[in-house]
Amino acid sequence: MRRWVDGFVERHGPAQSRVTGGAVHLLAADGSTAVLSPLLPLVPGALEPDAVAVLVQHVQKAPSPLVVVLVRRGGYAVGVVREGRLTASKVGSRYVQSRTAAGGWSQQRFARRRDNQAAALLDSVADVVVRLALGDDGRSVETGTCLVTGGDRTLVDQLLAQSRLSDLAAVRAPRHLDVPDPRADVLRAAVDRALAVEVLVTNA
């Protein structure tokens, strides 16, 4: 992180840094900007003069465990990360039919089938989340847990609306990942993205 910031300064000139909206904002001498967003937002307060130093210290304390839940119509992936390592995971596939252009009774029949398929998918995912990410009672969330989601946001929201996942939903991070149909390699890439600091550069 520090090396990246040093490179930004070399290209654009000395930069002022501040914390706004949970992220570090850099404003370089040539007018270029960079926004560095960690998984868990920074809390403004008694910050050091160098906001980047605060960010580096912040990201070294990654949430543990980190639960990653990816859901799309083609399937799901659930992973549990401890100290930066994927320690438990499950990937599964279930088909949820896409919307159809048919009208009348056919459209209603397809809609009911799609709803039933989606419900079956979400029940399967919830079972896996409970088994991998929750305590022996199937409800408690370990202190320090953070949830990162990805895929179809509507399906994910419906999943987390289940009462047995309410405690996990309460520790959901703002970051939501755009992913293809979940597979083992997609889950591993999603873990890396979840733990990364996202950088948005705007050149002057």
Using 50, 70 and 90 to split pLDDT, how confident is the model at 46?
very low
**pLDDT, average across residues 23-47:** 86
Distance of alpha carbon 158 from its chain centroid, rounded? 16
Using 50, 70 and 90 to split pLDDT, how confident is the model at 143?
confident
Does the pLDDT of residue 136 top 50, yes or no?
Answer: yes
Please classify residue 99 by burial: count the beta carbons closer than 10 Å to its beta carbon, then call 0-12 exposed, 13-18 middle and 19+ buried.
Answer: exposed
Q: Which residue has the higher pLDDT, 59 or 145?
A: 145
**Distances from the Cα of 91 to the Cα of 5, 48, 69, 185, 186, angstroms:** 37, 43, 10, 10, 10
Identity of the residue numbered 150: G
pLDDT tens digits for range 85-126: 899 999 997 655 555 445 544 556 555 565 666 688 899 999
**pLDDT, average across residues 164-193:** 93
**Distances from the Cα of 122 to the Cα of 3, 23, 56, 83, angstroms:** 42, 33, 37, 28
Residue 21 has what DSSP assignment?
T
- β-pairing, 66-72 vs 33-37, is unpaired
SS3 assignment, position 72: strand
